[in-house]
Homo-oligomer: A and B are copies of this chain.
Amino acid sequence: MRAVCVVGLGLIGGSVLRAAVRSGRPAWGATVSASDASAALAAGYDVSSTVDEAVMRAVDEDALVVLAVPLPAVERALRTVAAVAPSCLLTDVVSVKQPVADLVARVVPTARYAGGHPMAGRSVSGWESGSESLFDGAPWVAVADEETALEAWREAAALALDCGAHVVPTTASEHDAAVARVSHLPHVLAAVLAATGAGGGPLALSLAAGSFTDGTRVAGTPVDSVLAMCEGNRGPLLDAVDDALGRLGAARGALASTGGLAATVRAGHAGRAELLAVRSDEGREEVRIDLTDPEAFDDLRSLGAGGGRVLRFEEDVVVGDLPG
């Protein structure tokens, strides 16, 4: 099995290291955080004393290097990779994909890179918050852009599967647009709802229904973590906010003019039904894609665009399914 070198041992990186070891892979990590490093060491994991040393070892063992640092720290980590292992197999687990792809293209263009993003909780941070089962059953995007090397995509996808996730193939820009809508916009709307509710004073809050409790839950996430996530995906989030503003403005107009909210409420009801349909295990259709086929990447992107997922490899064939 391919060895894994994890750079950054916070919630996500620390969980990748644990899950890789669980799968039986040789795996080690490094981090600039002294507390994460000592906690990982104390838990019995193989932790190099510096990031340089960890990446040098990746060259010796032909390991997949996994960048698991926050977006602002990616460039510095890439400079280390460029200096020590410029042609390594490389992936990352950062929550936006186009900005990382741009950095890789600029700093380590010779790396065999495919971006990744496991969709796992982020309201806590640090090694101690991680677990080997964090990714079990979760979607994990493996970026399949025009310029992605097949070999690199395959390594990123195999890691995701070994970590217990299923793989969603898509492009970097489609990933960023999608998560703006379903991961970042929910934080913005939760904040707006919480502030508008609190604007009604203690009386309103004392009468808050389950709808308000649910709708504001993620407003309790630490502020810095929400800002890093949302501001790091500024352009796509702006599009998503504009879409939501348009819909809320239309609801406002309908309520003011005819008093009717049917179009708004029906569209929301249909959207929720589509969410449940995409997630349903019922009637899913098996999809097989032969990676030796020259159109394999187009087929993978179509699979992701249709709400599908990759479940396993059978030699050169990808086996997945689409919602029914």
Tell me the A residues contacting B by CB distance below 8 Å.
Answer: 119, 121, 139, 141, 168, 170, 174-175, 177-179, 181-183, 185-221, 223, 226-227, 230-231, 234, 237-238, 240-245, 247-249, 251-252, 255-256, 259-262, 264-276, 278-279, 304-309, 323
Q: Min CB distance, A194 to chain B, in Å? A: 3
With A181-B196, A181-B197, A206-B307 already in contact, 15 other A-B pairs whose C-beta atoms are closer than 8 Å: A182-B205, A186-B211, A189-B189, A189-B192, A196-B243, A206-B279, A220-B269, A220-B273, A223-B269, A226-B265, A226-B269, A231-B260, A234-B255, A234-B259, A244-B248
Given contacts A181-B196, A198-B275, contact A191 B265 (CB under 8 A): yes
Q: Min CB distance, A238 to chain B, in Å? A: 5
Q: Is the CB of A168 within 8 A of B269?
A: no
Most chain B C-beta atoms within 10 Å of own C-beta, residue among A193, A212, A241? A193
Q: Min CB distance, A118 to chain B, in Å? A: 11
Q: Is the CB of A251 within 8 A of B241?
A: yes
Q: Is the CB of A220 within 8 A of B183?
A: no
17 inter-chain pairs at a CB distance below 8 angstroms, sorted by A residue, are A170-B203, A182-B200, A183-B212, A186-B193, A188-B265, A194-B271, A195-B247, A195-B267, A195-B268, A202-B305, A205-B278, A210-B218, A211-B218, A212-B275, A227-B260, A230-B255, A245-B249
Q: Min CB distance, A100 to chain B, in Å? A: 17
Complex interface: chain B residues within 8 A of A217 (CB): 211, 214, 272
Q: Which residue of B lies closest to A170 (CB)?
A: B203
Q: Is the CB of B182 within 8 A of A208?
A: yes
Q: Is the CB of B201 within 8 A of A305?
A: yes
Complex interface: chain B residues within 8 A of A269 (CB): 191, 194, 219-221, 223, 226
Given contacts A209-B119, A216-B275, A268-B192, contact A204 B187 (CB under 8 A): no
Complex interface: chain B residues within 8 A of A238 (CB): 252, 255-256
Q: Which residue of B lies closest to A322 (CB)?
A: B202
Q: Which residue of B lies closest to A140 (CB)?
A: B207
Complex interface: chain B residues within 8 A of A218 (CB): 210-211, 214-215
**Complex Cα distance A279/B220, Å?**
15
Q: Is the CB of A304 within 8 A of B223?
A: no
**Complex Cα distance A25/B182, Å?**
50
Q: Is the CB of A267 within 8 A of B207?
A: no
Of the candidates B186, B189, B223, B256, the one whose C-beta lies within 8 Å of that of A248 is B189
**Complex Cα distance A27/B209, Å?**
28
Most chain B C-beta atoms within 10 Å of own C-beta, residue among A200, A218, A259? A200
**Complex Cα distance A201/B243, Å?**
14
Given contacts A234-B255, A255-B238, A264-B191, contact A219 B271 (CB under 8 A): yes
Q: Is the CB of B207 within 8 A of A119?
A: yes
